[in-house]
Structure 1
């Protein structure tokens, strides 16, 4: 029997994923952390691997998303204010990296930060 997984999110630091994992497991949802051990052994490659992936069974996807949305932190600007989507005015955005060129794939830390709205999926750059 083939088991399908859904990646709920990815985290630069394993500790961030472990906190969410604890909440989901307390709610009875099985959680798997892909690349956790690799990043724990060499934290400098987190960006290259795309961070620690928090995965749940596909059958638990909707319930896990609801719980995750209740407790997750959304992107904030340099002053601690929530990033506002210019398209739909929602305040639920996450940092987004496209890694669209070979240079950014090799050196992801040079890519300018962008934000993706979790409501309308609009991608924007931060306002200066």
Structure 2
């Protein structure tokens, strides 16, 4: 039987994913880190290839997502306060980059930071 992997999350550096990987494996969920070796060999290309992808089997997706949501960090502002979604008022947002044109794909560090609400998928720019 062939199983399919699904990406649970992406991380800029391989070290960032190790805690959640260990937590999932301790719960009996096999984990695959896509592009980990590539980024370990050249960390500067992480944003160009989309970072390290934490992947789990489709059969473990629901349980892995629940564990991941319990231990993950959500986006915070400069003072350490959680980013509040202006649409649904949830405090579960993550940094989001659209990379819609070739310039931002080649030079992702020039794109302005946005936040994506994980509850309603609303995308907003940070307030200063």
TM range (shorter): over 0.9
TM-superposition CA deviations, 1:82-121 (whole Å, max 9, x none): 0000000000000000001110011111110000000000
Q: Distance in 1 between matches of 2:104 and 2:57?
A: 31
Q: Distance in 2 between matches of 1:101 and 1:32?
A: 29
Q: Paired residues, what number?
A: 128
Match of 2:6 in 1: 6
Matched, 1:97 2:97: yes
Match of 1:17 in 2: 17
For structure 2, which runs of at least 5 residues remain unmatched after alignment?
A: none
Match of 1:54 in 2: 54
Match of 2:83 in 1: 83
Q: Match of 2:6, SS?
A: strand
Q: Distance in 1 between matches of 2:24 and 2:2?
A: 23
Compute the RMSD of aligned alpha carbons: 0.6
Query: TM-score, normalization: structure 2?
Result: 0.98
Match of 1:36 in 2: 36
Query: TM-score, normalization: structure 1?
Result: 0.98
Q: Distance in 1 between matches of 2:71 and 2:3?
A: 27
Q: Distance in 2 between matches of 1:22 and 1:81?
A: 27
Q: Distance in 1 between matches of 2:39 and 2:19?
A: 16
For structure 1, which runs of at least 5 residues remain unmatched after alignment?
A: none
Match of 2:108 in 1: 108
Q: Match of 1:10, SS?
A: strand
Q: Match of 1:3, SS?
A: coil
Q: Match of 2:56, SS?
A: strand
